Structure 1
Amino acid sequence: MKDNDFRIVDTHCHAGNNWFEPIESLIFQMENNGVDGGVLIQHGGNFDNEYLFEVTEQYPDKFKVVCLVDPSEENPIKYLEKLTKKGAAGIRMSPNSKFDSIDVKDLWSICGELGLAVSVIGDLEDFSAIHFAEIIDKNPKTKIVLEHLAGFSNYKAQKGELMSFHELIIQYKKVLEYGSRDNVYMKIPGLGEIEPRPGILSPSFTLIDSRGIVEMTLEIFGSEKLMWGSDFPPVSNREGYRNALNWIKESKTFSKNEKDDIFNNVPKKVFGI
């Protein structure tokens, strides 16, 4: 149900037959919550992007695709050109991605030439590394999108090592320096990714940005370089799709114009949707 006067695009959602949920499950959530379009992000370990392209053929005005490229691909450049012709909006890489047949530095550059955005997955350690800053600076024509608030969380992704809030902020502030780069964007997720679940739940959704992480990001990046991504369907195991969306829609942190940037203008600029 549509209860706002601006267009809403979900820039980080997944669909598939071999993992997660089929596209119909995502469409149900979108239609139920007044979301107009989505950027389908290929899930890890799945280098066959055909299912996602089938979705865009069926719903050409509703979805765009961000693909994965197999590290063992014999001719990554030719494959990127093929993806571009099929209508891909971008590819997904990490700061540490490597390919067998090409220097990955060339791939970042070629994405810019082809108009493909790069949606980047990683943790704070990855994003704050010197070599990633060099990738950004050497590829000013490539739109680079940091997923999941640059992996901000209470642990080092995939390592299980608890980090103090002080340690997190030190690394996150390094990432926020990218806000001065014209080609770097950030995805804002649901609060369930950065806030703990309450031990006792209230009748209504009560999570807030208690440590001001999103507000800090908005101040430095500006709404013109931020976008919202639900992370469906994993979000269903956290606060749920509706709550992940409504906290921004109802938040007083963002003005109406800033919400229009986050939900509509920035997705259109970066992913063409």
Structure 2
Amino acid sequence: MVIDAHQHIWDPAQASYPWLTPDLHLIDRAFALDEALPLHREVGVKGCVLVEASDDPDDARLMERAADAHPEVLGIVTYSPVSDPVQLAHDLDPTTRHNRVVGVRNLIHHHPDPDWMLTEAFDEGLGILEALGLPFDVVATSSRHLRNLTTVSERHPGLRLVVDHLGKPPVGGDLGEWRKAIRTVAANPLTAAKLSGLYNESRPAAWTPDDLQPIVDHALEVFGPERLMYGGDWPISVRAGGYRRVWNGISQCLLHLRDDEREAVLFQTAADVYGLAPRAPRNAVGMDIG
């Protein structure tokens, strides 16, 4: 079994997506899970985690409706305002929250304060997630964001963190600063990361597996397979060549791993971090590359 740990859906008629502008013409429309599931089946993905696409409660409701309609949705990384602890506690009340909510994410990486995750209100919200045992998916787009995660880990030693897209390393560029920053982040054993979104935002289709290999190898070195998980990042990945191309690129970078190590990246880490499913049978993960 393969789990896609980073799957989006969105619908501008049902929620607000301020980042979805006409210049993103390839993805400037509604994308439903019904469109993604055949792509999953093509490469052997059996289940997915839906991840918020906007800091909008209506986006969270959209994911909940999709989860109710599709058993393939194993978990939801939902939106709730971490910087509003009262609202966060209300949204995540264990007695009322949706039964497939397995984590929280906020799309605030473009906040004018680069140290947004260290503010008092945000810190209080992270404490709520820590107490509830819910992971926080981090959208880090700079080495400064990654370095701030060290402070977050010190303040909240029981908080599980998930670094989306490996903190957006400069694919095809100088990896030196990113290597140092992500190594520091990985020193916290409760921090995991996603092999997802590994392309340059200005030229998203201009990548090759050879560009990804040093990034994936460094991530494997500092996190180990047991703290890395695969994410297709669809439909953002439409701009990077589509689901199959992204799957093939990541898969090629994992070919040198043992079967149990690939199983960790493609299934077990997501299952463990998000509490999704029982352990997969040995050698249950295939590698369909074509």
TM over 0.5: yes
Structure 1: 5+ residue stretches without partners: 1-6, 156-163, 200-205
The question of whether the paired residues in 1 share the 8 Å contact of 2:84 and 2:125 is answered with: no
Describe how 1:230-245 pairs up with structure 2 within 5 A: 230-245=232-247
Given the superposition, is the C-alpha separation of residues 239 and 213 from structure 1 closer, same or farther in structure 2, using an over 3 Å criterion? same
Q: 1:104 to 1:192 in 2, by over 3 A?
A: closer
Q: Deviations over 1:133-169 (max 9, x none)?
A: 11112222221000111121259xxxxxxxx61xx42
Q: Percent sequence identity over matched residues? A: 21
Is 2:66 the partner of 1:55? Answer: yes
Structure-2 change in CA distance of 1:258 and 1:127 (3 Å)? farther
- Alignment of 1:116 with 2:134, yes or no, is yes
- CA apart distance, 1:114: 1.2
- Aligned partner of 2:139: which letter? I
Q: Structure 1 residues 220-229 or 131-140, which shifts more? A: 131-140
In the TM superposition, what is the alpha-carbon distance from 1:119 to its structure 2 partner? 0.6
Secondary structure at 2:93's aligned position in 1? Answer: helix
Give every structure 1 segment of 4 or more consecutive aligned residues whose post-TM-superposition deviation is greater than 6 Å. Answer: none
Of residues 103-112 and 259-268 in structure 1, the stretch that sits farther from structure 2 once superposed is 103-112
Contact 2:204 2:240 in 1 (8 A): no
Q: 2:162 aligns with which of 135, 140, 145?
A: 145
For 1:43, the aligned partner's letter is A
Output one character per residue of 1:51-70: Cα deviation in whole Å (capped at 9) or x when no partner.
11111112245331111124
Q: Could you say what secondary structure the match of 2:237 adopts?
A: helix
Report the Cα distance in structure 2 between the residues aligned to 1:84 and 1:153, rounded to whole angstroms: 41
DSSP-derived class of the 2:50 partner: strand
> 1:13, 1:231 within 8 Å by CA — same for their partners in 2?
yes
- 1:62 maps to a residue whose letter is V
The alignment partner of 1:15 has SS state of coil
Structure 1 residues 72 and 99, CA gap change in structure 2 (3 angstroms): farther
Cα distance between partner residues in 2 of 1:16 and 1:135: 30
Aligned to 1:40, which of 41, 50, 56? 50
Q: Which amino acid counterpart does residue 53 of structure 1 have in structure 2?
A: E
- Quote the offset at 1:239 in angstroms: 2.5
Flag structure 2 segments of 5+ consecutive residues without an equivalent: 13-28, 110-114, 277-290
Amino acid paired to 2:245: N
Distance 2:34 2:127 in 1: 35
Q: State how far apart, in whole Å, the 2-side matches of 1:73 and 1:110 are.
A: 7
| Corresponding residue for residue 75 of structure 1 | 87
Q: CA deviation at 1:104?
A: 1.4
Does 1:29 pair with 2:29? no
Does structure 2 retain, via aligned residues, the 8 Å contact 1:227–1:266? yes
Match of 1:176 in 2: 183
- Superposed counterparts of 1:1-273, under 5 Å: 7-18=1-12, 20-48=30-58, 49-60=60-71, 62-70=73-81, 75-81=87-93, 85-87=97-99, 88-93=101-106, 96-97=115-116, 103-129=121-147, 131-153=148-170, 165=174, 168-189=175-196, 191-193=198-200, 197=205, 207-209=209-211, 212-250=214-252, 251-273=254-276
Alpha-carbon separation, structure 2, partners of 1:239 and 1:50 = 29
How big is the shift at 1:193?
Answer: 4.8
Q: TM-score, normalised by structure 1?
A: 0.80
CA contact (8 A) 2:165 2:198 kept: no
Structure 1 residues 210 and 46, CA gap change in structure 2 (3 angstroms)? closer
Letter in 2 for 1:112: E
Query: Contact between 1:9 and 1:37, CA under 8 Å: does it hold in 2?
Result: yes
Q: TM-score, normalized by length of structure 2?
A: 0.75
Kindly tell me: are residues 77 and 190 of structure 1, through their superposed partners in 2, closer, same or farther at Cα, counting changes over 3 Å? closer
C-alpha separation in 2, matches of 1:61 and 1:13:
11
Instruction: Out of 190-199 and 72-81, give the one that drifted further.
Output: 190-199
